Amino acid sequence: MGTKRYPETTGRLAEVLAAGGFAITAETTPPLSADSGLVVARTAPLAGLVHAVNVTDGAGARAHLSSFAAAHFMQVEQGLQAVMQFTTRDRNLLALERDLLGVAGFAIPNVLCLSGDPLSKGDEPDATAVNDVDSAGLVAVAAGMREQGALPSGRKINPPPNYFIGVADMPIDPEDGWEPHGLLKKLAAGADFAQTQFCFDVEVLARYVARLQDFDIPDRLPLLIGLSPLASARQALWMRENLFGTIIPDALIARLDGAADPAFEGRRICIELIQALQEMPGIAGVHLMGHAAEARIAETLREGGFEI
């Protein structure tokens, strides 16, 4: 138990969380294109509004422009620090180790360890999933490379990488006796922060975080809650039905459905939720996502007057 010890890093995300601030991150999916300029243009609205931007790794089990290329050009051209996502689905252990070392070469300060969407959800279901390790296993590999300066084989790394290690989480409305075994496993493996699936229900979040506090998790693993500036009731329904673990209350969907300007209403809902989460103990920030939603996220943050 006890307070989380943060690694020495120059990353803005680690700095704000170590200082007890409220972190704001966003997300971008590289395009199916050989033009890195598209990434720069897509993420440009987020400059100065977020502490870091996740660069997805084969989201939806689909190929796209290299995540390394996308993260590099986004950082160089916009000054937006990346959270580099790594899925265990597509690389064997050797490739994961090489790419975790590559993070240092691209000056990427953060990594997020994921298992990845099932290949059956993508457009190339005949591809082969690797999964040499699970997401907690990847955290352990990354943490060992950073803290022990060594690969799992024992080979020494000189100098070792120095990144901030994230994991995914999925809020639920916990039943009596429920225990967060998965999150505890990732924390024990060496995770530094967690970003969650979409959850638009403050009451569910309060109960979930209260249960995590029984295990002293929020003090050791800062939680960034997944939100989005919803564009319509139709989008909200699709997300709830198709994105596993997404929580969107009926009342919010009805509010969007009855709005004269659903996109504006979606931004207002997002702003209200961010403001509520800023006041909720045990929550360290928000992670704003959505398909091609970079500009909408930026507009939401400007309208809400949030500062980083």
Q: What is the mean pLDDT of residues 174-180?
A: 96
Task: Examine residue 2 and state whether it is found in any structural domain, yes or no.
Answer: no
User: Which pTM does this prediction carry?
Assistant: 0.95
What pLDDT is recorded for position 1? 39
Q: CA 274: distance to chain centroid?
A: 16
Task: Examine residue 178 and state whether it is found in any structural domain, yes or no.
Answer: yes
Helix (H) or strand (E) holding 55: strand 52-55
**pLDDT single digits (tens) 208-243:** 999 999 999 999 999 999 999 999 999 999 999 999
Given 3-state DSSP classes, what are the helix, strand and coil percentages for the chain, each rounded to the nearest 5? 40, 15, 45
Task: Examine residue 7 and state whether it is found in any structural domain, yes or no.
Answer: no
d(CA 74, CA 69): 8
Task: Examine residue 25 and state whether it is found in any structural domain, yes or no.
Answer: yes
CB 154 within 8 A of CB 146: no
Provide the H-helix boundaries in 106-215. Answer: 135-147, 181-189, 202-213
* Residue 7 pLDDT greater than 70, yes or no: no
Q: CA 197: distance to chain centroid?
A: 8
Task: Examine residue 291 and state whether it is found in any structural domain, yes or no.
Answer: yes
d(CA 290, CA 131): 26
What pLDDT is recorded for position 9? 54
Q: What is the mean pLDDT of residues 8-15?
A: 81
- Its domain, for residue 82, covers 12-304
Which residues lie across from 27 on neighbouring strands? 54
Task: Examine residue 135 and state whether it is found in any structural domain, yes or no.
Answer: yes
**pLDDT single digits (tens) 105-161:** 899 999 999 999 888 889 998 899 999 999 999 999 999 999 999 999 999 999 999
**pLDDT single digits (tens) 58-102:** 888 899 999 999 999 999 999 999 999 999 999 999 999 999 999
What pLDDT is recorded for position 69? 92
Task: Examine residue 3 and state whether it is found in any structural domain, yes or no.
Answer: no
Task: Examine residue 6 and state whether it is found in any structural domain, yes or no.
Answer: no
CATH number at residue 299: 3.20.20.220
| Structural domains counted in the chain | 1
Amino acid, res. 76: V
